[in-house]
Amino acid sequence: MIKVAKFGGSSLASATQFKKVSNIIFEDDDRRYVVPSAPGKRYDGDTKVTDMLYMCYNVAGKGGDFDLILREIQERYQEIIDGLSLNLSLDQEFSEIHRQIDNHAGIDYAASRGEYLNGILLANYLNYEFVDAAEVIFFREDGSFDDEKTNNNLGKRLNKTKRAVIPGFYGMAPDGSIKTFSRGGSDITGSIVARAVHADLYENWTDVSGFLVTDPHIVENPEVISTITYKELRELSYSGATVLHGDCILPIRREGIPINVRNTNRPDDEGTLIVESTCTKPKYTITGIAGMRGFVSINIEKDMMNTEIGFGRKVLQVFEEYGLSFEHTPSGIDTFSIYVHQKEFEAKEQQVITKLNKLVRPDSIDLESDLALIAVVGRGMRRARGTAGRIFSALAHAHVNVKMIDQGSSELNIIIGVEDKDYEAAIKAIYDIFVTTQA
Amino acid sequence: MIKVAKFGGSSLASATQFKKVSNIIFEDDDRRYVVPSAPGKRYDGDTKVTDMLYMCYNVAGKGGDFDLILREIQERYQEIIDGLSLNLSLDQEFSEIHRQIDNHAGIDYAASRGEYLNGILLANYLNYEFVDAAEVIFFREDGSFDDEKTNNNLGKRLNKTKRAVIPGFYGMAPDGSIKTFSRGGSDITGSIVARAVHADLYENWTDVSGFLVTDPHIVENPEVISTITYKELRELSYSGATVLHGDCILPIRREGIPINVRNTNRPDDEGTLIVESTCTKPKYTITGIAGMRGFVSINIEKDMMNTEIGFGRKVLQVFEEYGLSFEHTPSGIDTFSIYVHQKEFEAKEQQVITKLNKLVRPDSIDLESDLALIAVVGRGMRRARGTAGRIFSALAHAHVNVKMIDQGSSELNIIIGVEDKDYEAAIKAIYDIFVTTQA
């Protein structure tokens, strides 16, 4: 069995955190490939090493003196080295970094050094081989990730070593320069490594014990989701809240490798397991509740519209022309509504309405703003009769006025439109009926 | 106060029925203008006079002898005349009809004679003036109804007479020939007359005591809807079940004249009042439940579809190209479904799927057939919290699997998709929760 363990910045922010990581690694012999982020914040108000590196780059770009910042970065690493009593000096590495930044190395080079150095440090501490990502992760000339080349090289390289640390976030461009993924890209590196070594599990160690059933700003201490499918995850990502870097899912999803999101600070918590599919009966009927504010609904009324072939297409065409993507299109008998993001819509409002009037000649168009959408997601909903009934009874009980309901073919989710003022009450009510009162 | 009373065919099928009509008319002095249909069926298996007239026309067209049929028609009228002991002979009228059909008068002429003769008879019996519709209802050369000319002439003509009978269904073309509305068009005549005389009420007397809350083939003896708005009526007409001729609503709706659908055989029943809007608190939260079988849902899945501007438009465009009108488009996060009529879709199924694959490159397309749609309609739903909760709890209790939910901006209705096999159980369950258990 092979497990790839990726550790986030806060998991590797200090010597204390490194010790936790080491305990985790050595607790399970299968954790053979480790992907570290750069040291993150040790406390609220602390600065991430990556942000300090960006500062170096910016100061250097303006011809300023970045010595002081770079020395502060080295101190952060030295503090970890001292805390772990490692026999390791990063002097040479820091001279090289100083030289490169002086010589106008790119921003990606600067940014990537946090992971690079942390990788050297972690490999030394764990006594794992250090494999520089620049040797195994490749980008194309256009800047996109070179999937095939990476997979071939990385697989071969890691086959030669039983235990290795591969720093996250970066790789090499065809010209030999360093190139990074987008911010948070260590998740992607972990996923790429997991695929290359045909891992059985990709562990993503963070500072949370997995995905929460809903937004902790709305519900106090919401439960952790124990198992979630990729599909459910995607439906929940609706809310914009993400723990994982979105792009990290695709490579290993194709391989059927599950992801386990775990908490370095609470290693006994089982975290959230993300899988392609599962027979595991979910603990609750619903897996999660996600929501988003800031929608406007454009309600179009026209007598006999459903006999008018092309009506819906024309309506959507107007929105397309103005570059507006829509979220939902609930319809009644003579009504057709379009839910769009209020911010995107506002500037184009009058043009869209004028065009709609011209193109579909509706009886009326009316706008309703300050709406929120809530997605109640769960593979268990298919099995459980009465889910919709429970949701809407709970909302009624909470005095929430339901503006829109949309449940499509997936039966994985029900989308509910409510007024902004009812948004939090609605989420609380749904959480309570499915989780609190079931616990 | 002016009331226009239109009586349907079964209300005027025999002398007994004529007596009921006369009682109704004389019970209320305001019933000043009366619009009769042709005599309908007296019993199951009987033939309507209009159908017999069509037969005359068809037989004559083939050079056959229609004497016998025409004589049978005259007997039907004579039976009424005798039953009412009227001092009236229709011999002259029947000679004229015979002569006209012999001379190849049009099909509309033949069909219209049922109302014409019934009008003469009813006017005689009530001692109301007979106003031939050919003198006051006008059509244009293209066959369409001439709204303006009719309204001017009809208003002036009826102003001259306090009480009149105007036969339904027909009028005059510019060339002086007789032209009819579509079948069931006496409802339209009644509506036109009501508008022309600025009636306070248009009574539509039939053989049912108004609109039923739901289909009596599914629910035994469903309650009658006491007051319904035009909008609700339109949303219920979804089911295809109609008591009123659809076109009859528009002329008087504009004038704000309410329609009262009543039962000639049960004149004490208050029937259903159709109004533009009303403050009347509805007796039940829901006004009616309509449904329709025979839908198929085309479920399209594609990762990140909602960020792809134009996705929905392209999907609808494919359906438009194949001349398919859609009923609903419920959507999830990565799913978009289209509900269409199965019968229309089947022949074009493979072409549509091929085109969809080509145009929107979905991850998957999956079809689900034998679906039914149910519309739960009611202006009371806006006010009543928890309607959706009650509906879906009731459906869960009845073991109905809810495939789709769509509630748009109107808040006048909730559309529910169920499997065909659950269709009747679903309607019963909704009826029971809102009507039976509330009564």
Q: What is the pLDDT along chain A (439 residues), one digit of tens a residue?
A: 999 999 999 999 999 999 999 999 999 999 999 999 999 999 989 999 999 999 999 999 888 899 999 999 999 999 999 999 999 999 999 999 999 999 989 999 999 999 999 999 999 999 999 999 999 999 999 999 999 999 999 999 999 999 999 999 999 999 999 999 988 889 999 999 999 999 999 999 999 999 999 999 999 999 999 999 888 888 887 655 555 666 667 778 878 899 999 999 999 999 999 998 888 778 888 999 999 999 999 999 988 787 788 899 999 999 999 999 888 888 877 889 999 999 999 999 999 999 999 999 999 999 999 999 999 999 888 777 788 889 999 998 899 988 888 887 767 889 999 999 999 999 999 999 999 987 6
Kindly report the average pLDDT of chain B as a whole number. Answer: 91
- Beta carbon pairs, A and B, within 8 Å: 196
Residues in chain A within 8 Å Cβ distance of B323: 309
What pLDDT score does A231 carry? 83
Rounded to whole angstroms, what are the CA distances from A163 to A30, A124, A133, A178? Answer: 9, 12, 15, 24
Cross-chain CB nearest to B335 (options A326, A389, A408):
A408
- What's the burial of B437, exposed, middle or buried (CB within 10 Å: 0-12/13-18/19+)? exposed
Tokens 């990074």 label which residue? A180
Residues in chain B within 8 Å Cβ distance of A399: 385
Contacting residues for B272 by C-beta, under 8 A, at least 6 apart: B209, B210, B211, B224, B225, B226, B227, B228, B260, B261
Residue B202 main-chain phi, psi, to 5 deg: -110, 110
Contact B401 A385 (CB under 8 A): yes
Residues in chain B within 8 Å Cβ distance of A409: 297, 299, 330, 332, 335, 337, 366, 368, 403-404
Cross-chain CB nearest to A313 (options B313, B393, B410):
B313
Contact A386 B393 (CB under 8 A): yes
Residue B407 pLDDT greater than 90, yes or no? no
- Check: CB of residue B186 under 8 Å from CB of residue B37: yes
Question: Is the domain defined by A288-438 classed in CATH 3.30.2130.10?
Answer: yes
Residues in chain A within 8 Å Cβ distance of B232: none
Instruction: Enumerate the CATH 3.40.1160.10 domain ranges in chain B, comma separated.
Output: 3-207
Cross-chain CB nearest to B325 (options A309, A317, A412):
A309
Instruction: Enumerate the CATH 3.30.2130.10 domain ranges in chain B, comma separated.
Output: 288-438
Average pLDDT over residues B247-265: 85
Binding residues of A for ATP: 6-9, 206-207
Q: How many helices (H) and strands (E) does chain A have?
A: 14, 16
DSSP letter (8 states) at residue A238? T
Q: In whole angstroms, what is the distance from residue A263 CA to residue B329 CA?
A: 41
Contact A330 B408 (CB under 8 A): yes
DSSP letter (8 states) at residue A224? B
Substitution target in B301, B331, B419 with the highest count of A β-carbons within 10 Å is B331
Cross-chain CB nearest to B337 (options A320, A389, A408):
A408
Cross-chain CB nearest to B316 (options A308, A316, A403):
A316
Residue B238 pLDDT greater than 70, yes or no? no
- Check: CB of residue B325 under 8 Å from CB of residue B265: no
Residues in chain B within 8 Å Cβ distance of A288: none
Q: In whole angstroms, what is the distance from residue A286 CA to residue A282 CA?
A: 8
Residue type, B101: I
- CATH code linked to domain A3-207: 3.40.1160.10
- Residue A253: how many other CB atoms lie within 10 Å: 18
Residue in chain A lying closest to B412 (CA)? A332
Contacting residues for A293 by C-beta, under 8 A, at least 6 apart: A370, A372, A420, A423
Give the per-residue SS3 of chain B: CCEEEEECHHHHCCHHHHHHHHHHHHHCCCEEEEEECCCCCCCCCCCCHHHHHHHHHHHHHCCCCCHHHHHHHHHHHHHHHHHCCCCCCCHHHHHHHHHHHHCCCCHHHHHHHHHHHHHHHHHHHHCCEECCHHHCCEECCCCCECHHHHHHHHHHHHHCCCCEECCCCEEECCCCCEEECCCCCHHHHHHHHHHHCCCCEEEEEECCCCCECCCCCCCCCCCECCEEEHHHHHHHHCCCCCCCCHHHHHHHHHHCCCEEEEECCCCCCCCEEEECCCCCCCCCCCCEEEEEEEEEEEEEECCCHHHCCCHHHHHHHHHHHCCCCEEECCECCCEEEEEEEHHHHHCCHHHHHHHHHHHHCCCEEEEEEEEEEEEEECHHHCCCCCHHHHHHHHHHHCCCCEEEEEECCCCCEEEEEEEHHHHHHHHHHHHHHHCHHHC
Contact A392 B386 (CB under 8 A): yes
What is the ipTM metric for this complex? 0.73
Sign, CA torsion B145/B146/B147/B153? negative
Residues in chain B within 8 Å Cβ distance of A402: 388, 407
Q: In whole angstroms, what is the distance from residue A274 CA to residue A251 CA?
A: 14
CA-based nearest distance B357→chain A, Å: 18
